[in-house]
Amino acid sequence: MSFFTDAMVRVRAMFLRETEERELDDEVRFHLERDAEERVRRGVAPEDARREAALALGGMESQKEQVRDARGTRPLEELASDIRYALRGLRRNPGFTLTGILVLGVGIGATSTVYSIVHSVVLADLPYPEPERLVRVVEKNSPTNIWALSTADVVSIRERQRVFAEWGESTRREVALSGTGTPSRIVVSPASSGYFRAIGIAVAKGRAIQPSDETAEAPAVAVVTDAFARRVLGSADAALGRVLTLDGVSHTVVGVLPPGRDELGGVRSEVWPALKLQPIVRRGPFWLRGLGRLKPGVSLETATADLARVSAEILPMWPDFRDSTAKLTPVPLREVIVGRSVKQVGLFAGGVALVLLLAIVNVATLVLVRASAREQELAVRLMLGAKRGRVARLLVTENLILTLTAAMLGLGLAFVGLDLAVAQLQSMPRIQDAALDWRVIALGIGAAVVSGILVSLSPIAALQGNTNLASHATGRRTDTSNRTSRMRAAFVVAEFALAWPLLVASGLLLSSFVRLQRVDPGFDPRGLVSIGVNLPSIRYPNDTTVFQFRARALQRLAAIPGVVSVGLADDVPPDPNHGNFDNFNLVHKPVPDGQAEPAVPWYYVDPTYFETLGIRIVDGRGYRSGNTADTLPMVIVSESWAKQFTPGESPVGRQLVQGGCYDCPRTTIIGVVEDIRNLGPALPMVAAYGSLVNNGTRSVEILARARAVTPSLLQTMRNELRALDPELPLVETVIADKVDASMADPMRWAAVLTAFAACGMGLAALGVFGLMAYTVRQRRRELGVRLALGAAPSSVTRLVVSRGMKYALIGSGIGLVMTLLFVNRIQTMLFGVSPIDPATFLAVAFMLAGSAFLASWIPGRRAARIRPMEAIGAD
């Protein structure tokens, strides 16, 4: 035979496979029938004749396979035929197929999304050369009390350290940007030349900051990001030499960072001016982030010891700073950047892993139930000579097709879901880099393959253990499949166990969230608006000009119709990132020598601030304005402050040393005000309020309380301030929005976990429903007999429901123990609720029991409606 005809037959065989397969079926069947007829003619009973004929044929399946072998296309065909067969099987049972794909698809989708986030936020290397050598240096006097470095600290480190190959500092500042279109307020990060060398990232254009840029008399220069150069200056090439006016000071752009580089050392900033340090007059204030690159081979321990030595050496040099427990401490940069989010991401990942597990267990249950329904079909195939291995491979192929389709769906969902998730979780570091890369795709497909094989194991095991094939083949159902039914029960138990931690965690977060929302901010945010300004020192060179602007601004805003009251502050509540914590020491109750002075958030306000926010003065007095303005150092404290630091007495009239400045005049406490949630709903309300009257800070928030916040009111306020200074960038805040925003993070966590928990409970319920429905179908005959013998239909329902509940209860027992073991880990994310909150646990128990009841009651009712005669006759 020529190669050509051979090829033609092969190709035809491939394409016409289905027809040929059917023809082969027909041909073999015809043979079988004729043979049986012949035997009947010879006097064999018809039923035996068929069986003999089948035996004589030597196994129909292997027969067909030998014929297929003869066609010579076998290696190519077998896979194709498996796939075709599997597709046919899946099509025949669309309910099963769709449920399986959806359940697993959602599971894989959620897992891929979360893994993308986990990878980018937690696992990925920091994007710098040899990132493990980078450390942030902080001041630390207890595991939780960590703060930034002072000028005195960094100068000492520069002079005395022996462990860093490179060392630099940066800080962060909000400035007014002008000279490039509309004035705006941007965040800049002044950094030293050492910072660039330590991080090890070269600029793409121009040059980095150099030591010569850091002297007082050097012209002001800045490095900008590629994104900023394109957005504001046209292009990276056009940026060099351009002048940016930052708070009125002209900065020449000398360098542009490589594209995509929008943060350095965990500091996200578009403009990096050269850091210029002022002469040191005292140990504080603490405002700089130190970054060191360890010399090769230097361990963190060595660095810690070296910096402790530096701390000890410089302590005696500054009598204003007496905290001998405060040590300069290196912290791996990775920990600084990633550390905060590990717990949240961990919870997130744990939740999604549970959902994926549940989905896999659920699909496994489905597959197993389906496999039991197909026991007969599989048994016939085996009896007709199909090899066990081949039947097993068919099952695996079928399940792999199912799970791989689910993976495609899941990855599609992840593709959409990731954008949504990233948009929701902007507060996480490095989340912008989250993307569906090959790892995630591999993970999704890997999860599909693993789950495809996992869910096939149980029916294959059942197949292996099944020796009583003949009875299956003849369609008589025997309960030999004890093993599979036990496996199914175990799956359902596992589902309930897995649902527990999900439900408890989401219950606790939800109840925290509800409690957070009920927290009284301490003031009425409705009608409150604030406009932030930052007066450039060029046009407002001294306190007089600053005070003049403030007074005029207040005057103009107060005159707007609809505005009830106006005031000033350096920050508006709620602000969890309030940066100004100042230490103090009460003169009449000083802290013991060598111990750290307490530090509290320190706000600066004007005399009308409390009135504008609606905060009452409960002791002493507020600040005065006009001719009787207070000029001596004074402070007003919150009720919580008084309770904590002067318990049992009035703090009014007491004095304190502020900021460790023992040479400065003492600060007098003149009043106590009601607590408000300055830092947001979950944080303490200890606060100190200094006076803005003699504080010429250029950056203030101008607050106004109006009867209603309307766009036209905002426009009028803007116009009034523009009339004072047209070049001033204005940043508006509607305080009610800010209060809402402070709830956003807890709400997101609660929402995400609740979604997971809902999936979990739904899957568990689906699992028990599927199992009980199957049990009812399988035990139809037995239940029918019971009913025929006079059992009440309700007792049949009860039988089914109690069986379902039994699984749910065993699962819940295991789940409860599992949950109790791990629940403490989410304590820090909770507010006002204990991690072993009995109400939450009870609610979870009831919800799961309820869903199990409902899920088994539906098949239970169906069981009660079985018509005995039909059921018994059916077999």
Partner 1 sequence: MNRDAMELLQGTLDVLILRTLAWQPMHGYAVSRWIRERTEGTIEIEDAPLYKALHRLERAGCVSAEWGVSENNRRARYYRLTATGRRRLREEESAWRRYAAAVFRVLEPA
- Interacting residues with partner 1 (CB under 8 A): 1, 5-6, 9, 23, 26-28, 30-31, 33-35, 37-38, 56-58, 62-63, 66-67, 69-72
Please say which residue, 68 or 327, places its beta carbon nearer to partner 1.
68
- Side chain identity at residue 280, one-letter code: I
Here the tokens at position 610 are 């409390």
Could you tell me the smallest distance in angstroms from the CB atom of residue 71 to partner 1? Answer: 6
Could you tell me the smallest distance in angstroms from the CB atom of residue 6 to partner 1? Answer: 8
Here the tokens at position 760 are 């979990």
Could you tell me the smallest distance in angstroms from the CB atom of residue 83 to partner 1? Answer: 23
Please say which residue, 35 or 433, places its beta carbon nearer to partner 1.
35
Could you tell me the smallest distance in angstroms from the CB atom of residue 30 to partner 1? Answer: 5
How far is residue 203 from each of residues 196, 225, 381, 499, 682, measured CA to CA in Å? 9, 9, 70, 51, 42
Please say which residue, 33 or 159, places its beta carbon nearer to partner 1.
33
Count of beta carbons in the 10 Å neighbourhood of residue 867: 12
Could you tell me the smallest distance in angstroms from the CB atom of residue 12 to partner 1? Answer: 10
| Residues facing residue 176 across a β-bridge | 185
Could you tell me the smallest distance in angstroms from the CB atom of residue 14 to partner 1? Answer: 14
Distance of CA 738 to the CA centre of its chain: 22
Could you tell me the smallest distance in angstroms from the CB atom of residue 33 to partner 1? Answer: 7
How do 667-673 and 634-638 pair as beta strands?
A: parallel
Please say which residue, 53 or 254, places its beta carbon nearer to partner 1.
53
Please say which residue, 63 or 113, places its beta carbon nearer to partner 1.
63
The rounded distance, in Å, linking the Cα atoms of 819 and 822 is 5
Q: Identify the DSSP state of 616.
A: P
Please say which residue, 41 or 92, places its beta carbon nearer to partner 1.
41
Angle, to 10 degrees, between the axis of helix 17-41 and the axis of helix 74-92? Answer: 80
Could you tell me the smallest distance in angstroms from the CB atom of residue 387 to partner 1? Answer: 15
- 3-state DSSP helix/strand/coil percent for the chain, to nearest 5? 55, 15, 30
Here the tokens at position 318 are 């500054």
Here the tokens at position 332 are 């791996």
CB 836 within 8 A of CB 819: no
Q: Is 490 exposed, middle or buried (0-12, 13-18, 19+ CB in 10 A)?
A: middle
Here the tokens at position 393 are 């491979």
Please say which residue, 27 or 237, places its beta carbon nearer to partner 1.
27
Could you tell me the smallest distance in angstroms from the CB atom of residue 773 to partner 1? Answer: 41
The rounded distance, in Å, linking the Cα atoms of 771 and 777 is 10
Annotate 563-575 with b (16+ C-beta within 10 A) or e (fewer): bebbbbbbbbbbb
The rounded distance, in Å, linking the Cα atoms of 847 and 839 is 12
Please say which residue, 4 or 438, places its beta carbon nearer to partner 1.
4
Please say which residue, 36 or 752, places its beta carbon nearer to partner 1.
36
Please say which residue, 27 or 524, places its beta carbon nearer to partner 1.
27
Could you tell me the smallest distance in angstroms from the CB atom of residue 43 to partner 1? Answer: 17
Please say which residue, 31 or 295, places its beta carbon nearer to partner 1.
31
Count of beta carbons in the 10 Å neighbourhood of residue 75: 7
Instruction: With CA atoms as reference, report the closest residue to 171 among 312, 265, 95.
Output: 265
Could you tell me the smallest distance in angstroms from the CB atom of residue 788 to partner 1? Answer: 43
